[in-house]
A and B are shown apart, each in its own frame.
Chain A
Amino acid sequence: MKSAVIVFPGLNRDRDMIAALTKISGTAPAIVWHQDADLPDVDLIVIPGGFSYGDYLRCGAIAARSPIMDKVRARAAAGVNVLGVCNGFQILLEAGLLPGALMRNQSLKFVCREVKLEVTNADTAFTRGYSKGQIIRCPVAHHDGNYFADSETLACLEGDGRVAFRYADGTNPNGSINNIAGILNERKNVLGLMPHPENLIESAHGGDDCRALFSGLLGQAA
């Protein structure tokens, strides 16, 4: 599998993501700086977490308007899988690749802890390594992860199986509506996920619950 990691100024989870992709796929991802003219031909594009542009204006707002995102949008439209984690999820929302918004955590506190996730839809490229209803562990670290969408959008997401992951067992860390932790676009090739799967992929992390997310993606692309 060929992958690319998009890097914006202010991201800080890019190295963890690059390490996870390298370990699981056996090939280092292409690292694409946001001002690079070309986005290489890859099977998976990842926007990692952090604080792009210092979270100025709104989390992800400035990065979402950079020219590289037009290229990401075009690849997503062509069917390439796109994963946005944490700030990457915020960027995908601000770029209009996913619906809704991520607001300040209900507690107003930055949360850095482990949560439980329920795999709500196991029939996607991202979740094929799991079974529907499976509960997995995953770390979170964010200040603005409180997912919000209007009732019409929410009904559409729920009705079309576009909620991929939900906080489970009372571990919702941010007040997110319907316990939503990760959502898909209509075609289900774009996933935005607030938790950090790249940080629970091997025993040195204390578990490998999230490895199947990446290996599931691997299984799809040669």
Chain B
Amino acid sequence: MKARVTVTLKAGVLDPQGQAIEGSLKGLGFPGVSSVRQGKVFDLVVDGTDEESARSQIASMCEKLLANTVIENYAIEITN
């Protein structure tokens, strides 16, 4: 089973990298960009065919390693 985990910074957590990217986009002349937040994407292949058990297993991976839940949120998407 294939899954995609998206990790993003929580609202209110300063994202200097996102701000720098936003500045660069403006420098390239792209108008109307009012905010950029940078995150991470993990593409996983996990054994099994049961979507619910895969979701709960991946949620545990997020809590323990893939995300730092002090500053980050995560979202799990089954992609196959």
A residues whose Cβ falls under 8 Å from a Cβ of B? 57-58, 61, 65, 93-94, 99-101, 103-108, 146, 148-150, 175
B contact face: mostly helix, strand, loop, or mixed: helix
- Given known pairs A65-B64, A65-B65, A108-B20, the reply for A103 and B70 (CB within 8 Å) is no
Residues B68 and A61 in contact, CB atoms below 8 Å apart: yes
Residues of B53-70 contacting chain A, CB below 8 A = 64-66, 68, 70
Residues A100 and B68 in contact, CB atoms below 8 Å apart: no
Residues B71 and A106 in contact, CB atoms below 8 Å apart: no
Residues B13 and A103 in contact, CB atoms below 8 Å apart: yes
| 28 pairs of residues in contact across A and B, judged by CB atoms under 8 Å | A57-B66, A58-B68, A61-B65, A61-B68, A65-B64, A65-B65, A93-B70, A94-B68, A99-B70, A101-B68, A101-B70, A103-B13, A103-B14, A103-B16, A103-B71, A104-B16, A104-B17, A105-B16, A106-B16, A107-B16, A146-B14, A146-B16, A148-B13, A148-B14, A148-B70, A149-B70, A150-B70, A175-B14
User: Complex Cα distance A106/B71, Å?
Assistant: 15
B64 contacts which chain A residues (CB < 8 A)?
65
Residues B17 and A108 in contact, CB atoms below 8 Å apart: yes
Residues A148 and B16 in contact, CB atoms below 8 Å apart: no
Closest 10 CB pairs of A and B: A101-B70, A101-B71, A106-B16, A108-B16, A104-B16, A108-B20, A101-B68, A58-B68, A104-B17, A65-B65
Partner of B65, one of A57, A146, A149, A150: A57
Give, as a whole number of angstroms, the nearest-CB distance from B63 to chain A: 11
* Chain A residue nearest to B40 in the complex (CB): A57
- In this complex, the interface size class of chain B, counting residues with CB under 8 Å from chain A, is 10 to 19
Give, as a whole number of angstroms, the nearest-CB distance from A102 to chain B: 10
A106 contacts which chain B residues (CB < 8 A)?
14, 16
B residues whose Cβ falls under 8 Å from a Cβ of A? 13-14, 16-17, 20, 64-66, 68, 70-71
User: Complex Cα distance A9/B24, Å?
Assistant: 35
* Chain A residue nearest to B9 in the complex (CB): A103
B66 contacts which chain A residues (CB < 8 A)?
57
User: Complex Cα distance A101/B10, Å?
Assistant: 12
* Chain B residue nearest to A65 in the complex (CB): B65
User: Complex Cα distance A105/B14, Å?
Assistant: 10
* Chain A residue nearest to B70 in the complex (CB): A101
User: Complex Cα distance A169/B16, Å?
Assistant: 23
User: Complex Cα distance A106/B70, Å?
Assistant: 18
A103 contacts which chain B residues (CB < 8 A)?
13-14, 16, 71
Interface centre among B14, B17, B70 (most CB of A within 10 A): B70
Additional pairs, 13, CB under 8 Å, beyond known A101-B68, A101-B71, A108-B20: A57-B65, A57-B66, A61-B68, A94-B68, A100-B70, A103-B13, A103-B14, A107-B16, A108-B16, A146-B14, A148-B14, A149-B70, A175-B16
